[in-house]
């Protein structure tokens, strides 16, 4: 079960003026299950997006990048159950056909449609099913559909991931609502996920780009479940300008900083939700690396720990086998590494001090921390002032089962 992850309530998800969502069942994976989402953006909406860095990026990712460079998006089309990745030229034609289907239905140009897919890799996208289901999605477009859409984009997720917040800018109430999906194949850059965050604030394009990239670095690019970067990752940030606030033209202004902070927070909440709902997860683990030479080496150590199957299985077993953490730190590849300066903590319990077992440590202390379902690992490198944080989860029997049976 997801680790302390609260299911969103429909009433908690606020409509964003200028963003409508429609959904229907295309029967891509399960007949009758909603698996197609159409998002309509009001004219004048500013959009920023980031995509997977996997060299085998899916056809919809390639096409979405091309379309975004050509014009301002008016529609986003998302399907679950099929990734349309590893599908060659046929996959590109399928993505293009889906965009054209939206264009024909809505009387807009096909390059104003951004396509997104998630699901099984290597299978051809059933374009005919999507085309047949699109009219229903178009007919039920509504600003109140965030809750249903968050469920429709799920694959192996157990819990839908969505959150809303409101703030005051320039005397106007600003709404920010976001949703995400992701549970396995999670690792930057980016973490395997789809995420859509919208606001009715008026924000200049260059500022929106900066806000998104800042938020990504503090959230979706700091999580990992299994170290596998997907072919289909994407995160889209949309600003409709419907709230009537004075346009935000710099991130350094008071309003720029205020809305950037809340988008940071929403992004991090969604990112944490993905880890908490990691496939088979029973523990939510925060890894803090402190006193490094720079941020990059702090992340290097953090991810070495987070990706270790031995560390992750020890956490699943609630076994304070801290030697596995020590070994991960030691093989993280830092140059001129002085072990005598290293300290390692499980929660508040010091397990390694001066590069050797802490005299105060007892197995009972370690066992008490490991029995918790939310655990913090802290490593002090003693090399500088840099610090960074990564979030991960444990490896359980269910992780193996879910992925072994993924296509059955």
Question: pLDDT band at residue 2, thresholds of 50, 70 and 90?
Answer: confident
Q: What is the mean pLDDT of residues 305-311?
A: 92
Q: What is the mean pLDDT of residues 217-225?
A: 88
Q: What is the mean pLDDT of residues 127-132?
A: 97
Q: Is 14 inside any structural domain?
A: yes
Q: Which residues of 161-193 are buried (b: 16+ CB within 10 A; e: fewer)?
A: bbbbbebebeeeebbbbbbbbbbbbbbbebbbb
Catalytic residue among 192, 229, 240, 304: 192
Average pLDDT, the chain: 91
| Domain stop point among 243, 276, 309 | 276
Same domain, 45 and 174: yes
| Ranges 47-56, 310-319, 328-337: which has the least confidence | 47-56
Whether pLDDT at 238 is above 90: yes
Which candidate, 379, 355, 375, places its Cα nearest to that of 367?
A: 375
Same domain, 90 and 57: yes
Q: What is the mean pLDDT of residues 307-314?
A: 91
Measured CA to CA, the distance from residue 47 to residue 99 in angstroms comes to 17
Same domain, 312 and 170: no
| Ranges 164-168, 226-230, 264-268, 331-335: which has the least confidence | 226-230
Q: Is 2 inside any structural domain?
A: no
Question: pLDDT band at residue 105, thresholds of 50, 70 and 90?
Answer: very high
Whether pLDDT at 133 is above 50: yes
3-state SS, one letter per residue, for 197-224? EEECCCECHHHHHHHHHHHHHCCHHHEC
| Ranges 13-27, 190-204, 234-248: which has the least confidence | 190-204
pLDDT at 190: 44
Same domain, 269 and 326: no
Same domain, 206 and 252: yes
Tell me if residue 192 is catalytic. Answer: yes
Measured CA to CA, the distance from residue 271 to residue 337 in angstroms comes to 31
pLDDT at 191: 42
Number of domains into which the chain is organized: 2
**DSSP per residue, 292-339:** ESSHHHHHHHHHHHHT-HHHHHHHHTT---THHHHHHHHTS--TT--G
Phi, psi of 390 (to 5 degrees): -130, 145
Give the tens place of pLDDT for each residue, 153-189.
988 788 999 999 999 998 999 999 999 997 655 455 4
More confident site: 156 or 288: 288
CATH of the domain at 68: 3.60.70.12
Question: pLDDT band at residue 408, thresholds of 50, 70 and 90?
Answer: low
Q: Structure tokens of 332? A: 């993280």
Give the tens place of pLDDT for each residue, 36-60.
999 999 999 999 999 877 767 789 9
Q: Are strands 374-380 and 284-292 parallel, antiparallel or unpaired?
A: parallel
Whether pLDDT at 109 is above 90: yes
More confident site: 333 or 45: 45
pLDDT at 230: 56
Residue matched to tokens 């014009």: 71
Same domain, 314 and 239: no
Q: Structure tokens of 20? A: 């409508």
- Provide the whole-model pTM: 0.92
The domain in which residue 337 lies consists of 284-404
Q: Is 156 helix (H, G, I), strand (E, B) or coil?
A: coil
Measured CA to CA, the distance from residue 33 to residue 21 in angstroms comes to 16
CATH of the domain at 331: 3.10.20.340
Whether pLDDT at 336 is above 90: no
Residue matched to tokens 């609260």: 6
pLDDT at 32: 85
Whether pLDDT at 23 is above 70: yes
Asked if residues 114 and 49 have their Cβ atoms less than 8 Å apart, the reply is yes
Q: What is the mean pLDDT of residues 334-363?
A: 92
Q: Is 73 inside any structural domain?
A: yes
Residues 6+ apart with CB under 8 A from 172: 243, 244, 245
Q: Structure tokens of 176? A: 């920010």
* For the chain, percent of residues with pLDDT exceeding 70: 94
Maximum mean pLDDT: which of 118-132, 173-187, 252-266, 275-289:
252-266
Q: What is the mean pLDDT of residues 251-274?
A: 96
Q: Is 176 inside any structural domain?
A: yes
């Amino acid at each position: 079960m997801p680790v302390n992850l609260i299911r969103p309530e429909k009433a908690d998800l606020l409509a964003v003026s200028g963003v409508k969502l429609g959904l229907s069942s295309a029967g891509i994976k399960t007949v009758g299950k909603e698996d197609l989402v159409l998002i309509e953006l009001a004219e004048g909406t500013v959009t920023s997006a980031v995509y997977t860095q996997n060299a085998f990026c899916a056809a919809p990712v390639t096409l979405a990048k091309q379309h975004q460079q050509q014009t301002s998006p008016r529609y986003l089309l998302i399907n679950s159950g099929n990734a349309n990745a590893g599908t060659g030229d046929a996959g590109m034609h399928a993505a293009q056909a889906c965009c054209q289907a939206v264009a024909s239905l809505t009387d807009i140009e096909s390059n104003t449609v951004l396509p997104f897919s998630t699901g099984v890799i290597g299978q051809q996208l059933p374009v005919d099913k999507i085309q047949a289901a699109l009219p229903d999605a178009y007919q039920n477009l509504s600003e109140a559909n965030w809750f249903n859409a968050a469920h429709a984009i799920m694959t192996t997720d157990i819990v839908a991931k969505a959150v809303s917040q409101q703030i005051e800018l320039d005397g106007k109430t600003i709404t920010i609502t976001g949703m995400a999906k992701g549970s396995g194949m999670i690792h930057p850059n980016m973490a395997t996920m789809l995420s859509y965050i919208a606001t009715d604030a008026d924000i200049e394009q260059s500022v929106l780009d900066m806000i998104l990239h800042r938020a990504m670095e503090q959230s979706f690019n700091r999580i990992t479940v299994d170290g596998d970067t997907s072919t289909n990752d994407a995160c889209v940030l949309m600003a409709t300008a419907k709230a009537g606030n004075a346009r935000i033209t710099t991130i350094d202004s008071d309003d720029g900083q205020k809305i950037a902070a809340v988008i940071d927070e929403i992004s991090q909440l969604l990112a944490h939700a993905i880890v908490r709902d990691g496939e088979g997860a029973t523990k939510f683990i925060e890894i803090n690396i402190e006193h490094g030479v720079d941020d990059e080496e702090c992340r290097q150590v953090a991810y070495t720990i987070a990706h270790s199957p031995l560390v992750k299985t020890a956490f699943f077993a609630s076994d304070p086998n801290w030697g596995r953490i020590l070994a991960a730190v030691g093989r993280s590849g830092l140059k001129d590494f002085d072990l005598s300066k290293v300290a390692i903590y499980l929660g508040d319990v010091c397990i390694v001090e001066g590069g050797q077992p802490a005299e105060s440590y007892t197995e009972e202390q370690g066992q008490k921390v490991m029995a918790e379902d939310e655990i913090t690992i802290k490593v002090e490198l003693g090399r500088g002032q840099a610090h960074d944080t990564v979030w991960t989860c444990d490896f359980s029997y269910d992780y193996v089962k879910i992925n072994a049976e993924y296509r059955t």
